[in-house]
Amino acid sequence: MANGPMDRRAFGGQPDRPNGQGRTPEQSAEYTGRYVVLLEPGNQESGLNALRSNADIASVERVRGTETANIAELLERPDVSVHFEELGAAVVEVRPEQRHALVTTAEADPAIIAAEPERMVYAMPITAPTQAPTEFFPAYRSDEEVVARHSRAEMAVAQGPAWDEQTWTWGLQAIRANLSHLTGRGVKVAVLDTGVDTDHPDLVGCLEETMSFVLGESVEDSNGHGTHCIGTVAGPRNPQQQPRYGVACDARILAGKVLSNRGSGTDGQILAGMAWAIARGARVISMSLGARVRKGELFPQTYEILAKRAFERGTVIVAAAGNDSNRPQDVFPVSRPANCPSILAVGALDKAIAPAFFSNGGINGQGGEVNIAAPGWDVRSAAPGGGYTEMKGTSMATPHVAGVLALLAEANPNASATELKAALLAGAYPLTQPAKDVGAGLLQAP
């Protein structure tokens, strides 16, 4: 059968992928109709040929190294499969009636390591009811209902002791970044998110390179999530307005837009961003994004294998643990892809240095652990338009970790990814809460 247009609606009745519009927040797993396929690095063509012969996949377009010009367009075309050659991964289009053939071929062919349905992923902020509508991210569930369920007393406890934030944010003080002489000078950190305000006066100096993997959208961030995360990683030593909020003020940022301005994207866009970041020499990839998983659900093999391959090239990946919980009564498992063993999962702490009520926990066993915890409550950082805002979420905790990894990489320029990860976890300050909630403990700057 000749390849022709693919009907993504036929895959379980899912609609096409209009950047997240019309999706209900409670949907825990949304599929695009495509598959993410991991190939044996030395035998990739054999695996693709098997899928062509047995599952009649759409024609394959290869993306090599730093080629990025038309990736966003390719990922939206229903008549094309996209092969990221250096990663050994492909986002494959297949007709609904050929899905079974694709899966059985993947199971039987030694050149194919894994094949999993492509899912939607989302930004992971927590939005307080008092924030402006432009700072609400509809692709992820509103936090207004969650906040309403918590009494004023509980919220007061979360505020913890008073922090003097005239010069440094409470988060930088908590992780002792204010006492570190390191700045992350020259270390490349990729932030894969909703883009960045490229004209923000605090951020123009740290942007090494930008790229959008969202069709029809520039890297400019009208959402705010990506700009906030980038500010936390690498906001300047002397911002336009005090306090200082950036962990690694001299780090070089690779801003990859993999989520739309509505805060949603696909696995394929994430993989494209990862491939770009690795090819550009990123030592750290920070991903404040993900998708909810069920209790007992296994981690995705595709992300795990790609994270291992990134590790081999010296790149550490950190990701948000997720904000689905309503502690203490309801604790949800760490979201994907943070639930992969080779990706550092970051939980959020409030100002009392306790797990934030929304922060997910390590209840799913292997790969589902929280590895480390960082400030994720009322975190001040950059906002589009040249201003500042405070946000809550494991999304806000994650770039703190990415920034500290940049400091460690500056101090140990020849360290492997494994050594950087080990140093990060060894340096954490032990907390009294269970490891399933805080991992190794409170993040600490070297």
253: nearest Cα among 382, 122, 363, 432: 382
261: nearest Cα among 18, 55, 27, 60: 18
Q: Which residues lie below 8 Å from residue 263, measured CB to CB, with a gap of 6+? A: 20, 122, 123, 125, 137, 138, 139, 140, 194, 223, 225
Tell me the sheet residues that pair with 184: none
Q: Which amino acid is at 46?
A: S
Given 3-state DSSP classes, what are the helix, strand and coil percentages for the chain, each rounded to the nearest 5?
A: 30, 25, 50
Mapping DSSP to helix (H, G, I), strand (E, B) and coil, where does residue 235 land? Answer: coil
Contact between 51 and 83 under an 8 Å Cβ cutoff? The reply is no
**Other Cβ atoms within 10 Å of 238 Cβ, number:** 9
CA atoms within 13 A on the CB side of 295: 7
Q: Which residues lie below 8 Å from residue 428, measured CB to CB, with a gap of 6+? A: 372, 439, 440, 441, 442, 443, 444
CA atoms within 13 A on the CB side of 201: 7
CA atoms within 13 A on the CB side of 353: 18
Torsional class of 365: left (φ above 0), alpha (ψ -120 to 50), beta (otherwise): left
233: nearest Cα among 260, 256, 265: 256
Any idea which residues carry the catalytic annotation?
A: 193, 225, 395
**Other Cβ atoms within 10 Å of 22 Cβ, number:** 6
d(CA 270, CA 277): 10
Which contiguous run of DSSP H or E holds residue 425? Answer: helix 417-426
Residue with tokens 């899966």: 103
d(CA 357, CA 359): 6
d(CA 136, CA 225): 10
The one-character DSSP state at 114 is: E
d(CA 180, CA 303): 33
